[in-house]
Amino acid sequence: MDIGFLAQYVLSGIMLGVVYAMVAVGFTLYFGVLDVINFSHGDVLTAGAFVSLATYLGLRATGIDSPVVVLMIMLVVALGSMALLGVLIAKFFVLPLRHAPPFITLLITLMVGIAIRESIRLFYPSGSNPQSFPQLLPKTAYHWGNLIVRQDTLILILTGLAVIALVNLFINHTRAGLAIRAVAQDGETAKVMGINFEWIVLLAFALGSALAALAGVMNGLYYNEVNFGTGLMLGIIGFCAAVVGGLGNIYGAILGGFLFALLQTIVVVAVPSLTAYKDVFAFGVIILLMVIKPTGLIGEVSSERV
Amino acid sequence: MFSSDKLPGAASAVAGVIAIAVFAMVLLRIHDQWGLLALGVIGGIALLLAVRTGAAAHFERAFAAHERLMNGVVVVAFLGVIAVLAKEDFSLLILSTVLLYCVACMGLTVQLGYCGVMNFAGAAFFGAGAYTAAVLGGHTSLPHLLVVLAGGLVAGLLGSVLLLPVLRTRGHYAALITVAFGILFRSFLDVNNTLGGPQGLTVPGMTIFGWSLNQGLAIGGITLSFYVNYALVTLALAIVVYTVTRRLERSWVGMHFDAVRIDELAASTFGLNVQGLKIMAFVIGNVFAGMAGAVFAMMTGFISPTDFDFPTSLVLIAIIMLGGIGNLWGILPAAAFVLILPEKLQAIQEYRFLLYAGAVILVLLYRSAGLFPRRLRRHFPPKAVS
């Protein structure tokens, strides 16, 4: 196969991987601090995309049309509102059930997710149809042989990688990040050390949900389309990525995200006739990996007290 | 008002079942939206009164005390409802669908409620049975009762593929396996052209010993809806599955399931074969779901991947959650609530998923054992005082 085509696939694979990794980091953050799976994460992503879309339409109505300004305002509104939504979900649905069996928290967040998704479908104007997302980034294309690289793709990939690096920096090199890691390691002890447990949990949910909103906006900008179901698949993929990487481990989540994108891309490149089966293949391999490494690639260190 | 130390007699339980059956009958027959609203209000007030005066608790204890008799009474009540609705296609279709969902949910109860094995792919196993029925019913001359059995077996076999991952993983990791499998199944059906792709498949109607179920029975010059036949068949399936599940629960196996669910480690130190029990629960549950799926396919005559997607799995989970995990009798009212309400109230049809989600969230927050929690097992039936 031509090297240019290959590079093209690699590039789109990286783009997918960046989005998956961002979603997966959210799952792993939640799991770290509270040992819960927040299944509404994917739908928070959709909500973020729709909020930014609504903001865009609102801004256009008021006559602001500088793409940079519009995009900045969209991001601020979407990230801010989703961080708030994440805090509300944690405060009213997850924290009250902290001591319930894991199955219960899993179920309630799934239901919160359905509620968000259905609300978008029912209450956003013609929300059951796909909505076109504005093209706000420059789309000048560079050609190298068969490889076509558009500026917007590059900007999105670089932004995504930068954000992932920043989150990593935040978690591993700031005081707040230290507190999150402390709570993740042992909530009780962290409390004894004077860390405000609830605040840290809410901070983690705000951070994760803002990341999801950003991923939603990036996904919208890349495909120029959002629909109410966007987050369902992305959420499940992000969940798989986080679990395969090893829940609670931020590097695991990033690894898992890129791994899933790699699996999907491999099918498309290696057996083009089976492109339609790329999700079947990717999920199949994920299940297989779980057999080999039942607690993820970078395994969660767990010991059981009896 | 009602003394709590004496076991109540059967009469009150029978009266309760009759009241519920009459309510269901009226509910299924009324099509006028205002009438439905009025019925809903009446039903709500009656329920509230029953709970407030202690009649509901009394009914529950009476029901449990005379379970053998009550099983028969419920079957008779079902036959009565079917007889009254004998000429109404749509109502009977809903009734049969409720029963089939109950069967699938009994499978989930064995897995999740008894043994604690998570399964978020209930709809996939239901679908496996349905597609088996479509393929075998359409292309072979296998007797249709065997097709139903084959549907269960295929679902069970398909589930066996997941055995290793399900056994090796725990908690959230195990949840991932079934979630991933559910998505995989749906997306496989969507892209596989041999199985009809997104357009789905048509399924021939059921024939049992030369009796075609798609032909309405004619009794005394009146032709009944052919859904009467399906309602009877689904009722029979539900009775069989209920009996098996109940026997399983009451047996040593059921006791071992409980032990594994409550504490795996403790169970294994007492010499229980934890892995074997989990395999058993998982396979049995999937077989039930598959059989329900096979009958569902032959009843509706048409299936497509959207019938078996992830949200449907969640509906199944929502039913057992609302009914009270592990409580077999809780499934019926929960399934009826989840399936009948949106079908009848056209105004809320659009909003049904939002309503399910809201209802389950409320139940989880305020009554996390479900509406009708499972009672502690009784080893010896107490003597009834009439």
Per-residue pLDDT reduced to its tens digit, B353-363: 888 888 888 88
Q: Which of A93, A106, A122 sits opposite B175 (nearest CB)?
A: A106
The predicted-structure confidence for A66-97, as pLDDT tens digits, reads as follows: 888 889 999 999 999 999 999 999 999 999 88
Q: Which residues of B touch A243 (CB under 8 A)?
A: 172-173, 176
| Statement: residue B282 has pLDDT above 50 | yes
- Per-residue tokens: A33: 């601090």
The predicted-structure confidence for A103-129, as pLDDT tens digits, reads as follows: 788 888 988 998 999 999 989 888 888
Q: How confident is the model at residue A22 (pLDDT cuts 50, 70, 90)?
A: very high
The predicted-structure confidence for A3-17, as pLDDT tens digits, reads as follows: 777 888 888 899 999
Q: Cα separation of A217 and A51, whole Å?
A: 9
| Statement: residue B287 has pLDDT above 90 | yes
Say whether B354 and A119 touch across the interface (CB within 8 A).
yes
The predicted-structure confidence for B250-281, as pLDDT tens digits, reads as follows: 899 999 999 999 888 899 999 999 999 999 99
**Does ipTM come in above 0.90?**
no
Whether the CB of B368 is below 8 Å from some CB of chain A: the reply is: yes
Per-residue pLDDT at A256: 92
- Residue B214 has, within 13 A of its CA and on its CB side, a CA count of 10
The predicted-structure confidence for A141-155, as pLDDT tens digits, reads as follows: 888 777 888 888 889
Give the least confident one: A116-120, A198-202, B19-23, B148-152: B19-23
Q: Which residues of B touch A118 (CB under 8 A)?
A: 351, 353-354, 357
Mean pLDDT of chain B: 84
For chain B, percent of residues with pLDDT exceeding 90: 27
Q: Cα separation of B174 and B261, whole Å?
A: 14
Q: Which residue of A122, A290, A302 to mutate against B (max B Cβ within 10 Å)?
A: A290
Per-residue pLDDT at A90: 93
Per-residue pLDDT at B386: 46
Displacement of CA B18 from its chain's centroid (Å):
21
Q: Are A117 and A231 in contact (CB under 8 A)?
A: yes
Q: Cα separation of A234 and A248, whole Å?
A: 19
Whether the CB of B165 is below 8 Å from some CB of chain A: the reply is: yes
Q: Cα separation of B101 and B337, whole Å?
A: 12
| Statement: residue A295 has pLDDT above 60 | yes
Give the least confident one: B72-76, B105-109, B380-384: B380-384
With b meaning 16 or more CB within 10 Å and e meaning fewer, what string describes B133-166? bbbbbeeeeeebeebbbbbbbbbbebbeebeebb
Based on DSSP, count helices (H) and strands (E) in chain A, helices before strands: 11, 4
| Statement: residue B10 has pLDDT above 80 | no
Q: Which residues of B touch A31 (CB under 8 A)?
A: 172
Q: How confident is the model at residue B4 (pLDDT cuts 50, 70, 90)?
A: very low
Cβ count near A76 (within 10 Å): 12
**What's the rounded mean pLDDT across residues A47-53?**
94
Q: Which residue of B183, B190, B194, B355 to mutate against A (max A Cβ within 10 Å)?
A: B183
Q: How confident is the model at residue A181 (pLDDT cuts 50, 70, 90)?
A: confident
Structural domains of chain A, ranges and CATH numbers in brackets: 3-292 (1.10.3470)
Per-residue pLDDT at B1: 43
Cβ count near A49 (within 10 Å): 33
Place of tokens 């009762």: B145
| Statement: residue B177 has pLDDT above 90 | no
Per-residue pLDDT at B2: 47
pTM: 0.86
| Statement: residue B6 has pLDDT above 60 | no
Whether the CB of B179 is below 8 Å from some CB of chain A: the reply is: yes
| Statement: residue B385 has pLDDT above 80 | no
For chain A, percent of residues with pLDDT exceeding 90: 38
Q: Are B310 and B323 in contact (CB under 8 A)?
A: no
Q: Which residues of B touch A245 (CB under 8 A)?
A: none
Q: How confident is the model at residue B382 (pLDDT cuts 50, 70, 90)?
A: low
CA-nearest of A149, A150, A147 to A1 is A147
**What's the rounded mean pLDDT across residues B68-73?**
84
Q: What's B204's DSSP letter?
A: P
Would you call A91 exposed, middle or buried from its count of C-beta atoms within 10 A (0-12, 13-18, 19+)?
Answer: middle
| Statement: residue B243 has pLDDT above 50 | yes
Q: Kindly write down the DSSP assignment for every residue of A56-85, as one continuous string.
A: HHHHHHHT---HHHHHHHHHHHHHHHHHHH
The predicted-structure confidence for A186-244, as pLDDT tens digits, reads as follows: 888 888 988 898 999 999 999 999 999 999 999 999 988 999 888 888 998 999 899 88
**What's the rounded mean pLDDT across residues B36-46?**
82
**What's the rounded mean pLDDT across residues B113-140?**
90
